[in-house]
Amino acid sequence: MDRKNLTGLYFWQGNTACAEGAIAAGCRFFAGYPITPSLEIMVHMNSRLPELNGICIQMEDEIASMAAVLGSSWAGRKAMTATSGPGFSLMLENIGLAIMTETPCVVVNVQRGGPSTGLPTLYSQSDIMQARWGAHGDYEIIALCPNSPQECFDLTIKAFNLSEQYRVPVIILIDGFTAHMMEKVTVADDNSIQIVSRNQPKQLADISVDSKPDNLLVPPMANFGQGYRTHTTGLTHDEHGYPDISTEAQNKLISRLVDKIKLNSDKIVITEQICLDDADIAVISYGINSRTAVEAVKRARKNNVKAGHLRLVSLWPFPEKKIRELSNQAKKIIVPETNMGQIVREVQRFADSNTQIVPLNNAGGEIITADKILKTIMS
Amino acid sequence: MKSPVKKWIRSNRLPPIWCPGCGITDSLGCFVNALCESKINQDKTVVISGIGCAGRISGYIDCDSFHTTHGRAIPFAEGVKLANAELNVIVFSGDGDLFAIGTNHFIHAARRNINITVICINNFVYGMTKGQIAPTTPQGSITISSPQGSTQQALNIQALALASGAVYSSRWTAYHRKELTYSMKKAILKKGFSVVEIIAPCIPFYANKNLSLNSFRKIKQFYLKNCSICKNISLEKICLQKNEKIIIGNFIDIEKTLF
């Protein structure tokens, strides 16, 4: 697939960088519906995709957008959509369909204040749990969270690669602040950008995961038009893709859909840390608040307080192991979030009961300042 | 040597799940004949369906097939066609799926003139869930959710197709097999957004209660007697009404620029 190589140095907002990351990853289909604060992604894709023989279409609503993304993926084109909270809520049923049919695709949620119409022009980080549990039923999902326009570029490529490798929708949870922030972005040259595409079958029997189990628990994917004549359904199905409404089929299928992410979480989880090795007090954060959290930790160290920072770059699957280890060492863990406490619940779940967990919350619109985080570290 | 018609059916999935005598089974037969006669490439054909009795059809056609969420077959199909224009993309679903929850997508896909075919089984109720009222249920009909008789005007699929800009639209019954097969073939080969509405009342949940007919043979006789084939007629006049003659035919066949 042709990639228009934009190697170089740019001054981009997060949304633009995200769109360019998608193009660098080989995305040649975008279907979306305009919503604040994500619409710049669609506008940018609209200006770039046609010259690359890509398709960018504005659909009548977010539900249609997500359906079209699935259709494109099955026809062999890497596909993406971008929205915000209200649109993401509409897309959930088809995200569930993507999970159940193991359709690779990327969904960007540029989070704004919620619930409902909320704060269209002010950011939040309040859709974290929704990304994990929003669709009905049991499943595992992958969600990534950039904290800079550079990461919007890099993590979008990562998102496409993960979605192709694990045949699962990958959600990119950009907070509205990072999406509209403008910063330096370096686009590496083609040779250093790694791209992963779905495993394709060599014969029909390959698509049935039973016949060729691999470590990843992910069957090869036959695209439409390759002559495999596959049937795919959102109903619980057997290994050939045909409906099988039985307890046995349900347990077999759902266990595999869960295991393919859970058992590979070591390969999927991304975290970043500073000053954590000897830290008594740890700050765990993600997105824009990680920028202020790092500043607070540095100031604390200057005051001889052993503080450290763990940044969650992937939010789902949650880094359980890391939290367990950290809580054995740190006496206090602070979790600043621009929501009423979402990731902190996961931290509480896995942390040692002797560790003090301190949530620092803002319901939407304001970044948790370095001063505030520092105050909580020092108190 | 497989017959040309049998080659389009996943025979290992037969018998189909529909009730004995259901018009969907006959429509499947006509569809497969139409696919054969159209001579389209079987490996480049995709059949997409939604939720409901008619939606199960995608499991029986031997080509790439996809069973989507309720009402979303058309936007899924648009994604397929736009991503690979070489594919023959056919949506085959029911009236509840396409014209209740899915109406919005129908209108916009028609407006765009995306080159797909939409075949709709109109059985007048939500059959899979035991016969609730549907947007296409003729006014006055008795259903499980309108025991006193429905008070809503039936949605006129043909008028909607015209208003939305479809380049081809027809209405036949599952019992007018020759005309239906021919119309399906035309719709499949036609460039642009093409629609075929197939009248096939649900035997247990509609025909029984409203037509006092409970077998395929009796329903076929009824429709062959009570349908009137019209060519030039204002489509707003052909809304399906209880106890009135049913107007069927090929209504729209025009040329327009594709999306």
Q: What is the pLDDT, as a whole number, of residue A210?
A: 59
Q: Note whether A1 contacts B: Cβ–Cβ < 8 A.
A: no
Tokens of B253: 């066949």
- Would the CB atoms of A231 and B72 count as touching at under 8 Å? no
- Would the CB atoms of A29 and B68 count as touching at under 8 Å? no
Q: What is the pLDDT, as a whole number, of residue A1?
A: 46
Closest to B74 in 3D by CA, of B112, B38, B45: B112
Tokens of A178: 């990072």
Q: How far apart are the CA of B50 and the nearest CA of chain A, in angstroms?
A: 10
Residues shown for chain A: 379
- Would the CB atoms of A67 and B87 count as touching at under 8 Å? no
Q: State the SS3 of B212-232.
A: CCCCHHHHHHHHHHHEEECCC
Could you check whether the bond before residue A86 is cis, i.e. omega within 30 degrees of 0?
no
Q: What is the pLDDT, as a whole number, of residue A207?
A: 80
- Would the CB atoms of A229 and B64 count as touching at under 8 Å? yes
> CA A141, CA A143: separation in Å to the nearest integer?
7
**Beta-sheet pairing, A55-58 with A231-233:** unpaired
- Would the CB atoms of A77 and B66 count as touching at under 8 Å? no
Return per-residue pLDDT of chain A as tens, 379 residues: 455 779 999 999 999 999 999 999 999 999 999 999 999 999 999 999 999 999 999 999 999 999 999 999 999 999 999 999 999 999 999 999 999 999 999 999 999 999 999 999 999 999 999 999 999 999 999 999 999 999 999 999 999 999 999 999 999 999 999 999 999 999 999 889 999 999 999 888 888 765 555 666 999 999 999 999 999 999 999 999 999 999 999 999 999 999 999 999 999 999 999 999 999 999 999 999 999 999 999 999 999 999 999 999 999 999 999 999 999 999 999 999 999 999 999 999 999 999 999 999 999 999 999 999 999 999 9
From residue A314, alpha-carbon distances to A158, A285, A322, B77, B197 in Å are: 10, 11, 12, 32, 48
Backbone phi, psi, residue A92, to 5°: -55, -40
Q: What is the pLDDT, as a whole number, of residue B243?
A: 86
Out of A60, A69, A93, name the one closest to residue B108 (CB): A60
Tokens of A249: 């089929």
- Chain B residue numbers with beta carbons less than 8 Å from the beta carbon of A232 are 65-67
Q: What is the pLDDT, as a whole number, of residue A214?
A: 64
Q: What are residue A271's DSSP bridge partners?
A: A312
Q: CB–CB of B52/B126 below 8 Å?
A: yes
> CA A79, CA A9: separation in Å to the nearest integer?
26
Out of B68, B76, B105, name the one closest to residue A60 (CB): B105
Q: CB–CB of B75/B109 below 8 Å?
A: yes
Closest to A168 in 3D by CA, of A213, A203, A216, A201: A216
Burial A15-36, CB ≥16 within 10 A → b, else e: bbbbbbbbbbbbbbbbbbbebe
Return per-residue pLDDT of chain B as tens, 259 residues: 567 778 999 999 999 999 999 999 999 999 999 999 999 999 999 999 999 999 999 999 999 999 999 999 999 999 999 999 999 999 999 999 999 999 999 999 999 999 999 999 999 999 999 999 999 999 999 999 999 999 999 999 999 999 999 999 999 999 999 999 999 999 999 999 999 999 999 999 999 999 999 999 999 999 999 999 998 899 999 999 988 899 999 999 999 999 9
Question: E strands of A222-306, at which residues?
Answer: 231-233, 271-274, 281-285
Out of B59, B68, B79, name the one closest to residue A243 (CB): B59
Contacts of residue A255, Cβ cutoff 8 Å, sequence gap at least 6: none
- Chain A residue numbers with beta carbons less than 8 Å from the beta carbon of B67 are 231-235, 243
Q: What is the pLDDT, as a whole number, of residue A212?
A: 54
Q: Note whether A81 contacts B: Cβ–Cβ < 8 A.
A: no
Q: CB–CB of A184/A9 below 8 Å?
A: yes
Q: CB–CB of B104/A248 below 8 Å?
A: no
Q: What is the pLDDT, as a whole number, of residue B1?
A: 52
